[in-house]
Every structure is written in C-alpha cells, then in structure tokens.
Amino acid sequence: MIDTRTHGIIDYVTGVLLFVAPYLFGFATGGVEQWLPQLLGAMTIVMSLITRYELSVAKVIPLKVHLGVDIASGILLAASPWLFGFADLIWWPHLLVGLMEIAIPLLTDRDTHVGDTHRRAGRR
C-alpha cells in the first residue's frame, strides 16, 4: 500500500507534470488535448493543498473524497483522446497518466488520522 505522505508527493508531481506535459511532449495546440490535462493538473494541486493528509496546507477534503476524484479524473484523462477526438494527434500521455491516476488511489492506504486531532481539539 502507498502511504498518504507518498500519495501527496505523487499528487504534486502529477499536477505539475499534467500542467507542463503539453509543452514537453509537443501538444500545446490550444485545444482540449492541451487544456484538459492542464485543468486536471491545476485541480490536482489545489485539491492536494486542501486534503486531510500530511502535505496539505488546509485539512478540508476527506481523503476518501480526494481519492474518488483522482479516480474520476483518471478515467476522464485516459478516455479523453477518444472521447474528444484527438487520438490521431496525441494519446499516450493522456492514457498513461490517466491509468496512473486510477491505479495510485486504489493502492493508497485510506486510513489516515491527519486532521483528527484538530477536530477533537475543537470539540473541547
């Protein structure tokens, strides 16, 4: 299993990778093939900043919700070349990172106690 700290590191790296991939791999055309991974990358970083795990700045979103969004965005990203009709231009980064975005949450330990002390302290 992947611990939540490692998952957080993977999230931030993936978010940056998704944002710069169109420039690195030559598909910065201004179309959906560019802006979808960039949008999902930005969303990944923002969501990581507010998830209840070690590497966030605000413990707002439960980890299980975060992991569900990861899986949904991975499915969208993996299917996007065929869903939006740009598979003839580029498909492999979307498919590979999308499949990774599906696999990583499924392999992440969902039991985290980050934020529990904040909630308990607030009840006193």
Residues pairing with 51 in the sheet: 61
From first to last of its 124 residues, the chain has per-residue pLDDT tens of 999 999 999 999 999 999 999 999 999 999 999 999 999 999 999 999 999 999 999 999 999 999 999 999 999 999 999 999 999 999 999 999 999 999 999 999 987 656 554 444 444 4
Residue 24: predicted pLDDT: 97
What are the boundaries of each domain within the chain? 4-123
C-alpha gyration radius of the chain: 16
d(CA 8, CA 4): 6
Helix (H) or strand (E) holding 19: helix 4-24
C-alpha of 110 from chain center: 15
Dihedrals phi, psi of 108, to nearest 5 degrees: -90, 135
